């Protein structure tokens, strides 16, 4: 496998337009925008803080799943990894959304490239009726494809924040040029979150972003909604 093929595969998997349903979820941002808890002027600082908290947490689980994808297979560790992520996602809507997107992602990868490790992960999760979270699915797929973990985790975080910026464009008067500037300036925060996640580990990984959690919990009560979560 050539480096150029790895890069092209990584670009496709890290595309926020990947057909798994990411664009249908705001993970609490819709509530914050509706209740004036997030303004255009605050978007960049807000997402930078989210990268420091949720971004580092998700990236730590991405790295652990990458190890399972590229190293010895352990079904119990895979199930435990996703169970931990479920426990750390306090809001039901956010937890359900992550699990739905993760399973769709892994199923899509199984169609794109027949990989034994991806099939094993899907089979184990189905047998145990367990969740398959987005970060874990992306990490496992990247590992199974032999993609470099540092490049893959940075690409994953960039896709994560790009999806959030896209959601903000639909919820706030955030124009395309301004959104591009925000995403460009957040690249340093993406790299820093990826770096910090290397030493986080899933055992000690945690995040504190109560405003987003509360927004996710209150999302179902909004009078009108653009997003599922």
- Smallest CA-to-CA distance from 55 within 126, 143, 175, 153 is with 153
The tens digit of pLDDT for each residue in 114-142 reads 999 999 999 999 999 999 999 999 999 99
Question: Using CA atoms, how far apart are residues 147 and 10, in angstroms rounded to an integer?
Answer: 7
Contact 146, 6 (CB under 8 A): yes
Helix (H), strand (E), coil (C) string for 59-100: HHHHHHHHHHHHCCCCHHHHHHHHHHHHHHCCCHHHHHHHHH
Residue 1 banded pLDDT, cuts 50, 70, 90: very low
The tens digit of pLDDT for each residue in 13-42 reads 998 788 998 989 999 999 999 998 899 999
pLDDT recorded at residue 119? 96
Taken in order of first residue, the domains within the chain and their CATH numbers are 24-218 (1.10.4190.10)
- In this structure, the number of other CB atoms found within 10 A of the CB of residue 196 comes to 15
- Smallest CA-to-CA distance from 134 within 210, 21, 44 is with 21
Indicate if the pLDDT at residue 3 is higher than 80. no
- In this prediction the pTM is 0.93
pLDDT recorded at residue 47? 97
Mean pLDDT of the residues in the chain: 93
pLDDT recorded at residue 2? 53
pLDDT recorded at residue 206? 78
Average pLDDT over residues 83-101: 92
Indicate if the pLDDT at residue 67 is higher than 60. yes
């Amino acid at each position: 496998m050539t480096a150029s093929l790895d890069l092209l595969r990584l670009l496709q998997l890290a595309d926020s337009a990947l057909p798994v349903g990411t664009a249908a979820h705001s993970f609490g941002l819709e509530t914050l925008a509706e209740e004036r808890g997030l303004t255009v002027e605050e978007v960049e600082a807000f997402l930078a803080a989210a990268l420091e908290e949720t971004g580092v947490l998700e990236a730590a689980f991405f790295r652990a799943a990458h190890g399972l994808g590229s190293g010895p297979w352990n079904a119990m560790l895979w199930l435990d990894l996703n169970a931990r992520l479920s426990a750390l996602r306090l809001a039901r809507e956010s937890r359900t959304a992550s699990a739905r997107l993760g399973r769709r992602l892994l199923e899509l990868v199984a169609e794109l490239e027949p990989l034994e490790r991806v099939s094993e992960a899907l089979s184990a999760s189905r047998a145990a009726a367990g969740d398959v979270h987005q970060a874990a699915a992306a990490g496992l797929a990247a590992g199974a494809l032999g993609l470099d973990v540092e490049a893959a985790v940075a690409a994953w975080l960039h896709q994560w924040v790009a999806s959030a910026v896209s959601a903000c464009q639909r919820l706030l008067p955030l124009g395309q040029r301004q959104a591009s500037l925000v995403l460009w300036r957040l690249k340093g925060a993406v790299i820093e979150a990826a770096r910090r996640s290397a030493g986080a580990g899933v055992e000690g990984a945690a995040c504190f972003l109560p405003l987003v959690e509360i927004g996710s919990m209150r999302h179902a009560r909004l009078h009108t909604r653009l997003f599922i979560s």
